[in-house]
Amino acid sequence: MRDKVGLFGGAFNPIHVGHLKVAEEALKQFELAKVIFIPTAWPPHKGVDVPAELRYRMVELAVRKHPGFEVSRIEMETEGPAYTVDTVREMLQFHPQGVAYIVGADAFLDLPSWKEADELMRLCPFIIAPRRGIDPEALRRPPLDRAEIYLIRMDPVEVSSSEIRRRYHEGLPVMGLVPKEVDRFIREHGIYS
């Protein structure tokens, strides 16, 4: 895994401290060259009501002071839904040393429903963040057993983007859940109010 590039895709609606912790641990534990955050414009598996450009800016603000983190517009520049398999194929052209896809255990369990899942499992290994209530052995059952997986050694992240959106909407505190720069941006633009 050493010197591979970690790809961390998602809606990031909004990006939060849990995302950053997962990326930090993946970078450190697997000696990745860097982690590239990839906000998607149109997530195929869920609707997002916040424009892609605003979500991109939040990620950009969150990662700019972290050495080893970058943000890419690759999925925002795709016509229609962006699929992970296509993103991985394209990123491999820029990173011939190889890429690894960073994903939560809950999302990894849904991998068989993703576009060209078998091809995706062939193209790259997966770095998986633990989620409470998901037995790591479930990640190795067929058809997922065809994937090369690496588990991040860390406590499960207890914060979720949906909970953060709810807190903003209801005027509840979010201190410690999102980076300060992201909180300021959300409030300035009234994103979740």
What pLDDT band is residue 143 in, cutting at 50, 70 and 90? very high
Tokens of residue 51, six digits: 């424009």
Range of the domain at 63: 5-158
CA 37 – CA 12 distance, rounded (Å): 9
168 assigned to some structural domain: no
Query: What is the predicted pLDDT for the residue at 124?
Result: 98
Tell me how many helices (H) and strands (E) the chain has: 7, 6
pLDDT at 6 over 80: yes
Residue 84 CA to its chain's centroid (Å): 11
Higher per-residue pLDDT: 89 or 193:
89
Count of domains for the chain: 1
180 assigned to some structural domain: no
Please calculate the CA angle 70-144-154 and round it to the nearest 5 degrees: 50
With a CB cutoff of 8 Å and minimum separation 6, the contacts of 60 are 71
Q: Give the domain CATH number at 105.
A: 3.40.50.620
Mean pLDDT on 118-134: 97
Strand ranges in the chain using DSSP code E only, listed in sequence order: 5-10, 34-39, 69-71, 99-104, 126-129, 149-151
Kindly report, residue by residue over 11-55, the tens digit of the pLDDT. 999 999 999 999 999 999 999 999 999 999 876 666 678 999 999
With a CB cutoff of 8 Å and minimum separation 6, the contacts of 164 are 14, 16, 174, 177, 178, 192
What pLDDT band is residue 79 in, cutting at 50, 70 and 90? confident
129 assigned to some structural domain: yes
181 assigned to some structural domain: no
93 assigned to some structural domain: yes
Asked if residues 7 and 99 have their Cβ atoms less than 8 Å apart, the reply is yes
164 assigned to some structural domain: no
Return the H-helix or E-strand segment holding 59: helix 52-63
97 assigned to some structural domain: yes
